[in-house]
């Protein structure tokens, strides 16, 4: 994913399913930059989850509990707010749709510049919506 070279195949939907926790903000930004430069689109990004106020409070309580009993914490990945998550691709891609993928949230992305793939984006969105409906 961090390679500067991406193979572009016509009529392909590039799926990033729950990989958001694996890369730092800098790495994600580089990834989207390389993808956009290579002409990768449309892209469906499915988030593992988002940071919320309640989730942040639970994490803080857990961290305090672990410190109190002398246990160390383990890094389990990155968690972002929705706005931070979207901001990582905004320099390179436009969010065409936000949609449910099972019980998760997905974002269908296309490049900022108009391309021959606009019809593909609509078809990909319809296919994703059908798939999401079937998986419920």
Q: What is the pLDDT of residues 22-35, one digit of tens each?
A: 788 898 889 999 99
For residue 111, which phi and psi values (nearest 5 degrees)?
A: -70, 165
- Encode pLDDT of 34-79 as tens digits: 999 889 999 999 988 777 788 778 878 888 888 888 888 776 666 6
Secondary structure (3-state) at 49 = coil
Contact (Cβ atoms closer than 8 angstroms) between residue 110 and residue 118: yes
Q: What's the whole-number average pLDDT of the chain? A: 78
For residue 16, is it left (φ>0), alpha (ψ between -120 and 50) or beta? beta
pLDDT above 80 for 98? yes
Alpha-carbon distances of 48 from 6, 19, 24, 39, 64, rounded to whole Å:
24, 7, 14, 25, 25
Residues above pLDDT 70, as percent of the chain: 78
- Output the CA torsion sign for 20, 105, 101, 44: negative
Tokens of 66: 């672990």
Residue 9: pLDDT over 90: no
């Amino acid at each position: 994913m961090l390679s500067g070279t991406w193979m572009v195949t016509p009529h392909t939907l590039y799926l990033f399913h729950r990989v958001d926790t694996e890369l730092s903000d800098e790495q994600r930004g580089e990834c989207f930059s390389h993808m956009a430069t290579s002409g990768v689109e449309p892209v469906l990004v499915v988030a593992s989850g988002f940071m919320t106020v309640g989730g942040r409070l639970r994490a803080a309580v857990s961290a305090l509990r672990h410190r109190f009993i002398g246990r160390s914490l383990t890094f389990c990945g990155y968690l972002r707010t929705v706005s931070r998550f979207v901001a990582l691709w905004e320099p390179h891609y436009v969010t065409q749709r936000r949609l449910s993928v099972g019980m998760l949230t997905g974002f269908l992305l296309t490049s900022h510049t108009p391309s021959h793939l606009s019809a593909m984006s609509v078809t990909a969105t319809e296919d994703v919506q059908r798939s999401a409906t079937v998986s419920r």
